[in-house]
Each structure stands twice: as structure tokens, then as C-alpha cells.
Structure 1
Amino acid sequence: MKKFNWGIIGLGEIAHQFASGFNQEQSSLAAVASRSADKAKEFAEAYGIPASYGSYEELLTDKTIDIIYISVPNKQHHSHILQALNAGKHVLCEKAITMNSEELLEAMTLAEKNGLILAEAMTIFNMPLYHELHSIIDTGKLGKLKMIQAPFGSYKEPDPNNRFFNPDLAGGALLDIGTYAVSFARWFLTEQPTVKASVMEPFSTGVDEQSITILQNEKNEMAAVTLSFQSKAPKVGVVSFENAYITVNDYPRADRAELHFNDGTTETIISGSSEQALNYEIENMIAAIEKKQPNRSLFLTHDVIDLLDQMQQKWAQQ
């Protein structure tokens, strides 16, 4: 059994979560890279990682590294993905994987050309709970899908210089929390929707502070996506069918859902562990590499990025 060596590019908060929770028999964290050699060394020592580099390019020349985990700011994802793929590395990139569909298509084409696996680190597409819910839906006992609600509200200190509100760092709610909400909706929709309406309120820097979006596909399945960076809201996803509805609390890393049937009965579904969310991404990445074919999540990611594009196009017309 081959053991895969991972390298990390970008050592922010999510990289610390990735490294601290890394628990794999078939993988090891072998190297990290930062623009600061001292920062890279400190990070490597904190997590017992053998190698550290003071530049991203140095890491990509390390022939022992099989997979690159990219966790730099959103706007830098595309260039680092292409560099890693050109260096012969498989890539798992944080959300939002790219700024738009054009960038993602270029990356997908390069990955296929080079025989490499590319995936987005979207927890929703990797958590066991969501696969279990799909299995239940496939039995038909819930009836036809009708409506989805995907709210996500988060309060961020209104500082124009931080990444959440800085346009130079691709700030705004959509490319941060919005990717979760749209991914939640897309997971359950049986086919790709289009954006029927979307209204956005900007922050003083011009990035999206809050928005409301309506999605609908040709099967008349609908979804409402509500986002805010200046007001908290419970992350409770609701998926409504003819015979029942599903509620998922804290849906980005959920391991529990409730089925509420029309006759008043309920059923609790528990699958996986929220604490292992990032490890599920790693496991599914390894599985895709071994099968030598992308898992379904990459194509759902493409659908999500396309929807984000459509939303921004609507906003440009406001």
C-alpha cells in the first residue's frame, strides 16, 4: 500500500486545523511552505512535520511530495493550483477553489491532461452524513424534492483592511461563507439550477456584505440562499420534500440530521464525526487518486462556482 506525502502551501488558520487534526494511516504531512522561512519552520516544528520551505516554489520541487494542500487567500488559489499541477502534484484546494468558472475549467483541463486529481476542500461534499442522507432520499420515501433553505450569517468586525472586506483579497460573504450555502443547496438539488434572482448589499469597500438568492432548476426544485457578514444566523439547512423535511444544524460540518415526516413522526440520522471533517476530505482525495478518477464532488464544485458567477453577474446589473 502506497503512503502519500502531503505538502501545505499557505499556513493560516485553516492550515493549522488541517495539520492539528491530520490523522491518517495512508498519508503523512511531509512538508510545509510559507513566504517566511521562519514561519514555515515554526509551523513544521509545532506539528512534527519533517521539512519546511521559505518559498512555495521550493516545496513544489520536492520530489517526495505527492499531494499539495492549498490554503492561501482565495485570489491566489488559481495560480498555485496551476503551478502544483504543472509540478506533477495532486491538489486539494480550500474553498472557494477558484474565483470563477473560467479559472476552474482551466485547472480541471490541466489536471486531466497531466493525469492528476484536483478537488476542493468542501466539507459538505465529503461528510458521511450527506452521503447517508442521499441514500435515504434515493429510497423515495421522502417523495419529490420541493424546496431548500440555506442560510449562513456570520458577524465579522467591520474592518476594511481585513480579508473579509478587502476586495484585493477577494473579500465578501459569497466567496467565504457563501460557498457552503450554495454547496449545501447543490448537494440536494437533483440537477443544476440557474439563478432566478439575487440581490446584494455591499460593504463600504464594495464587496458583498449580505445577499439573498433564489435558485430553480427545470424540475421546479427551488432553493433560497441568504448570506450576511454583519449579522449572525443559525446555520440550519432545511430540505423539504413532499412527505417530509430534513433539518441539518451547523451544516458545514454536520454529523447529525433530523427527518420530520408529515404525520408528525421524526427520525434522527447520525453519521460520521464533525471533528473529523478535514480527514474525510483527505480520505476521499486518496480514494480518488487510487481510482485514478475524480470523485463526484469536483463536478458539483464546478456547478457551485458557476452559480457564484451567475450571482455576481446579477449583482453587476443592480
Structure 2
Amino acid sequence: MRENLNWAVLGTGVIANEMAQALQKMGKSLYAVGNRTHQKAVDFAEKYGVGKVYDQIDDMFEDEDVDIIYITSPHNTHYTFMKKALQYGKHLLVEKSITLNSRELDQMIALAQEKNLILAEAMTIWHMPIYKKLWNIVKEGALGKVQIITMNFGSFKEYDMKNRFFNLNLAGGAMLDIGVYALSIVRSFMDETPTNILSQWKPSPTGSDEQATVLLQNSQGQMATVALSMHSKQPKRAMISCEKGYIEIMEYPRADKAVIVDAETGERTEITEGETGNALYYEMLDMERAVRSGNANGMHLEYTKDVMDIMTKLRKDWGMKYPEENWD
């Protein structure tokens, strides 16, 4: 393995820009960029001093000097790109939602294992220091067992049906765009994955999931409620209620502070860790550690799979299938 791992990015949107800046914080430069619109890739390369621009996206997968690819394209394109990249031996960090459904993810996990490659979702929650600290606090047991988790995430998006938030051709909808964050927090604080899952949903004019409420419970009796909306503003709030106190996280997923409230005394303790602006930096540091060590535990692919299984079940329950999607 080369001393300086070479990153390539597929896509030139907001996340790709943050990724290039995060690499600079790591004291290195992005090796290469590819995009369906070639001129956008050229402009991106000029902005960040990227040495290589691919004429065709497939050239990225075939480039022997690429070690890790960060896929930042719309999530309905992920499966095809992931399959090609893994077949050519590339480690992958993939924007959320990593795939459309469990069938796609299970196939990619199997392929990554066959090729002995690291596959991971770029899920902010797995990598922000505040969550790592809170998980340790819960594991230490002073707060007692996690009993119930309450999640809210709502954005007000105008009914622009060409926008990806409501566009079925771009896999739009609340579940894959914001629900994935809420469910990831739920899974990370539960001792086991929830298996009893109930929901209600409201479709947008395009048929995407505009709004949903979800109830979850695992075999240990731990419960969660999740309220999502793409057309109604809510606070981005997570509350993890334990036997002896509760944890409140505001402005997740890119949180850097939380408040712990003692159930008996009402005493409030503020916990701070990390910096919101370094979200991509933390993700990429963990990814490089995983690639170098061969130990991908810190990438939490098992949680990613559990969350994807829940999201797939919910959409099947609703009958909300994307065009050309195959989930059987």
C-alpha cells in the first residue's frame, strides 16, 4: 500500500467541495475528479488544484493509481458506480443513502468482501466526535439502559417537482434524504436493531414520501419514534431517554454538543466535542484508518445495513417504489 493514499471523487456538488477542503486539512490534495458534465469536473479541478480530470467516469474505476473513491452523485446512481468501482479493486466511501434498498446493498457488501475491500457509507453520525463520546457515556452505564429515543427532522422544501427532494427519477423523498440520519442515530444508541416497525406516511404530489412517522421497537423493549417531513420545518432534535437521565442533541447530524439531564435532580451537563465544520474531515480520517489497518469497525457498515433494511421495509409497506428499482 502506498504511503499517501490517492482519493478520487465522483461528482462536483456541495459534498465534493467539502471533501476537497477536508483533504486539504489533512495536508494532501485530491488526486482526481470525474463528473458526468466534463466541464464541471475541469472547473472543480482548477478550483482545488486537482491533478487529473477523467474524460469518462469509467476511467476513474480503471485508474490503477486510485485507492479510494468518494461517490457523491445522486443516490439512484450509486449502485452502478459502486459495482464497477469494486470490480476494479477500489475502496469506497459513498454518500448517504448508500443504495436505494437492501437488495442493492447486500450485493455490494458481498462484492466488497469477495474483493477484500472497504465499503462504507459517508454517514456523518458514525464519525463526529460528539457521538463517539455519547456512545461511551451510555456504555459506561451511569445513565442506565436506553429506554426510548425521540427523533425529529423536518425541512420546508417548495413544491418544485424538478428538485431532487420530490423527484422520483432522482430517488427523492424524506426517508432516503433525512430519515437515514434519524434512523442511524436510533440504531447507534440501541443495543439491538429494531424488528417491530410501524409507520404512517403522506405522499407528495409526485408520489415521493413527503412526510412520515415511524414507531420502532427491538427485542429488548427499547423503543423509538421518528417524525420526518420535507414540507414542514422541525427542529433537528434527538432525545435519548435512559433510566436515570436523558441526552438531548440539537442540530444533528453535524452536532458538536449535547446536554445530559439527570432524571432525579434535573441537573444539566453540557457535553462538547469536535467541530461541526470538520464533518467530512472526520469521515475521511476514519476511512483512511480503515483502509490502512484493514479494520472497518469504525465505519459501522453493520449499522448502515440495519438502517437500510428498515428503510426498505417501510417503503415496501407504503408501496413507494422508484422507477426501474428492483427490490425483490
Normalised by the length of structure 2, the TM-score is 0.94
Report how far residue 63 of structure 1 moved: 1.6
Report how far residue 180 of structure 1 moved: 0.6
Match of 2:155 in 1: 154
Match of 1:226 in 2: 227
Q: Does the alignment pair 1:300 with 2:303?
A: yes
Q: Does the alignment pair 1:313 with 2:316?
A: yes
Match of 2:260 in 1: 259
Match of 1:244 in 2: 245
Question: Is the contact made by 1:197 and 1:314 (CA closer than 8 Å) also made in structure 2?
Answer: no
Report how far residue 255 of structure 1 moved: 1.0
1:272-300 Cα distance to aligned partner (Å, 9 max, x none): 11111011110111111112132251110
Which is worse superposed, 290-299 or 97-106?
290-299
Q: What is the RMSD of the two structures over their aligned residues, measured on CA atoms? A: 1.4
Match of 2:171 in 1: 170
Which is worse superposed, 83-92 or 14-23?
14-23
Question: Is the contact made by 1:74 and 1:96 (CA closer than 8 Å) also made in structure 2?
Answer: yes
Structure 2 letter corresponding to 1:253 = R
Runs of 5+ consecutive residues of structure 2 not aligned to the other structure = 321-328
1:160-210 Cα distance to aligned partner (Å, 9 max, x none): 111111111101011101111111111101100024310110001100000
CA distance in 1 between partners of 2:24 and 2:124 (Å): 16
Question: Is the contact made by 1:77 and 1:98 (CA closer than 8 Å) also made in structure 2?
Answer: yes
CA distance in 1 between partners of 2:110 and 2:89 (Å): 14
CA distance in 1 between partners of 2:304 and 2:55 (Å): 31
Question: Is the contact made by 1:101 and 1:309 (CA closer than 8 Å) also made in structure 2?
Answer: yes
Question: Is the contact made by 1:36 and 1:55 (CA closer than 8 Å) also made in structure 2?
Answer: no
Match of 1:269 in 2: 271
After superposition, residues 162-241 of structure 1 pair within 5 angstroms as 162-241=163-242
CA distance in 1 between partners of 2:312 and 2:112 (Å): 22
CA distance in 1 between partners of 2:186 and 2:7 (Å): 31
Q: Does the alignment pair 1:291 with 2:293?
A: yes
CA distance in 1 between partners of 2:160 and 2:86 (Å): 35
Runs of 5+ consecutive residues of structure 1 not aligned to the other structure = none
Which is worse superposed, 295-304 or 198-207?
295-304
CA distance in 1 between partners of 2:185 and 2:136 (Å): 16
Report how far residue 138 of structure 1 moved: 1.4
After superposition, residues 47-62 of structure 1 pair within 5 angstroms as 47-62=48-63
Partner-residue secondary structure (3-state), 2:65:
coil
Structure 2 letter corresponding to 1:265 = E
Match of 1:8 in 2: 9
Report how far residue 25 of structure 1 moved: 3.8
Normalised by the length of structure 1, the TM-score is 0.96
CA distance in 2 between partners of 1:26 and 1:46 (Å): 17
After superposing on structure 2, the runs of 4+ consecutive aligned residues of structure 1 that deviate more than 6 Å are none
Question: Is the contact made by 1:121 and 1:281 (CA closer than 8 Å) also made in structure 2?
Answer: yes
CA distance in 2 between partners of 1:172 and 1:151 (Å): 16
Q: Does the alignment pair 1:95 with 2:96?
A: yes
Partner-residue secondary structure (3-state), 1:235:
strand
Alignment: residue pair count: 317
Structure 2 letter corresponding to 1:290 = R
Partner-residue secondary structure (3-state), 2:260:
strand
CA distance in 1 between partners of 2:196 and 2:25 (Å): 39
CA distance in 2 between partners of 1:26 and 1:248 (Å): 31
